[in-house]
Amino acid sequence: MLFSTAAFAVFMTAVFFAYWLMPHKYRWIVILAANAWFYISYDIKYLAVILVTMLASYLCAILIEKQDNEVKKKKTVMATGVVVTLSLLLVFKYLNFALYTVAKVLNRFSIPMQETTLKLIMPVGISFYTFMAVGYIVDVYRGKTRAVRHFGKYAIFVSFFPNISSGPIERAEHFIPQIDKEKIFDYDSVVYGARLLFLGLIKKIVIADMMTKYVDEVFNKVPEHYGICFAWATLLYTFQIYCDFSGYSDMAVGAARMLGFDLIQNFRQPYFAGSIKEFWARWHISLSTWFRDYVYIPLGGNRCSKARRDMNLLITFLCSGLWHGASWTFVLWGGIHGVCQIIENRIKERIGLTREKEKALSGPVKLLLTLITFCIVSYAWMFFRANSISEALYIVRSMFTDWSLKGAMAQMTMSGKSVVKTSLAIVLLIIYDCLNEKKDMLKELNRLPSAVRFAGYVLAAITVIALKVNNSYAQEFIYFKF
């Protein structure tokens, strides 16, 4: 059940009224039932996988607490739980990739091995809810949160329908207390959540889906294109993936807010970052902080030599790339970000650029750093979107060979009107993010007269519906596949 469908609108409306009309002590049942219905709407077969993940992590956390002061036993139980919980993700997402890679390597050394592909369908959201369960186990081990004894309420944490498909990746200490907290209907909070949900819908349908046609035209037919086609398609993809993913996150946070739940903020104007490190403090925040807390810091973080710190960073980014998909293109994309951040750190250390000095940089210097960071991030997105390493390398070789704008538009089947529409969408997005960097623009809407707000809602709704009906290139949210 995609957020951008009429089915979800009906579902969300029904859940909203059922939840707020139900007495507090029974509301958890409404949410749990809604989670189950939402998830099986994709495929009921997925239910068994998520139930195993829930049971394994739930029981493991309880066993950890029962070990009292037996440190070694607690660590053994924790490690076992993490391995068991991760095993389903490894099987469904990476087994075929591992078999394919092994076969390729052996064949390269003249050792015959047939390439085998198992018919496995990756359950929706498995990368997200698995990381939530793993984080929960580790947090119980570290004493950051208590093990939940009520299985139904723990199941709500793992399967909460707004964020199960594509995050944000919640933390138990932040989310679970909200289940038992008695909520009083807050009109302003509900309206804000509805606005956030609708903003995400606009990002998805009005901007991201409009760019899909041209991005797919190039990246799915790489040998037929050249030069500026790749540059333009990469730029469009840079904004497509941002609007698609941040749009989903807005809708997830908005839907949760309408039910009185507060989810982790996942995006904060990432393309305004002045460095790769800052970009990851603004992009997919719940994932970057998850890797920081459960991979980078356990590896030693920066509490070690500079060489070891650099290795820890690179490993973390490579893992982050692999998390996005079972393909070497994702690993390379993660590696690019890791290497760039290592170089960035070394340069700052060499010139003595501390955090305080960085904040004090002049406006033009900050703008230059932002543009450089944006170019690096956009270039890396090209590897992320490419269907294979060989196609990515072809794009690299061909990107700067021919910059005929007319020829590029013809190849991408873009009219002058299409160029204007996509360019306008990018400009409006940048303006909105600029304004939102300083003030919460959704709250600022309250300053407008009611009639003006209502007219804006109607106009936006008509635009979304018209584009939804006429857009044959609309697709599911990009991060569903991860």
Residues that are catalytic: 324
Burial readout 343-367 (b: 16 or more C-beta within 10 A, e: otherwise): ebbeebeeeeeeeeeeeeeeeeeee
Query: How many angstroms separate the CA atoms of 336 and 14, rounded?
Result: 45
DSSP secondary structure, 55-90, as one string: HHHHHHHHHHHHTTT-HHHHHHHHHHHHHHHHHHHI
Alpha-carbon distance of 309 to 312, in angstroms, equals 5
**In the structure encoding, which two tokens stand for residue 187, read together?**
């009109």
Sign of CA dihedral 47, 50, 52, 58: negative
How many helices (H) and strands (E) the chain has is answered by 23, 0
Specify whether the backbone of 212 is left (phi greater than 0), alpha (psi in -120 to 50) or beta. Answer: alpha
Q: Which residue has the tokens 């760039």?
A: 340
Q: Which residues, at least 6 apart from 202, have a Cβ–Cβ distance to it below 8 Å?
A: 247, 460, 463, 464
Report how far residue 99's alpha carbon sits from residue 341's, in angstroms, rounded to the nearest whole number. Answer: 32
Name the token pair of 122: 């990756």
Burial pattern 261-300, b for ≥16 Cβ within 10 A else e, equals bebbebbbbbbbbbbbbbbbebbbbbbbbbbebbbbeeee
At 121 the three-state DSSP class reads: coil
